[in-house]
Amino acid sequence: MAVRPLEVAAIEERSIDPAELPAMVQAAVDAIVEKKGEEIAVFDMRGFTPFMDYTVLANAGSAIQAKVLMDAVIDGVRKSGLRERSVEGDPASGWLLIDFWDLVVHIFRPEIRHYYNLDGLWADLPYCRVNSEKLSTENGG
């Protein structure tokens, strides 16, 4: 039996309405903004994978800031009623992943994020970017 390729054309290209984000996602974004994370993007993974509903990508300027962001995200999302399933990576590695089941948060050093290019991989999915201290529906790579 032949394996059918993923039908990417079936994925609707649209922006996420920030007002519709669940509390867990907003809590993660708020924590990242508060601790000065950069280049924050939220991707709507529903309909693309059964393993998560949303993923958040953010940059940290240093290993110390990555640890601060990780701790703040865990604390903020816990306050919304969700506990982390696992934390992968190490602040010094340049990539931390925090799995909250329906939400996965990636914290990168900029060069690691650029190398793996998850933004490009998921560019056809609905998403929004965080500009300064508020969510926007900027649609573009």
Summarize pLDDT for 4-25 with one digit per residue, the tens.
433 333 333 468 888 889 999 9
Amino acid at 61: G
Domains annotated on the chain, with CATH = 19-128 (3.30.460.10)
The tens digit of pLDDT for each residue in 121-131 reads 999 999 999 87
The pairing of beta strand 127-131 with beta strand 134-135: antiparallel
What angle do the packed helices 23-34 and 63-79 form, to 10 degrees?
150
pLDDT of residue 10: 35
Model pTM score: 0.84
The sheet that has 95-99: what strands, in order across it? 86-90, 95-99, 103-108, 54-59, 38-44, 127-131, 134-135
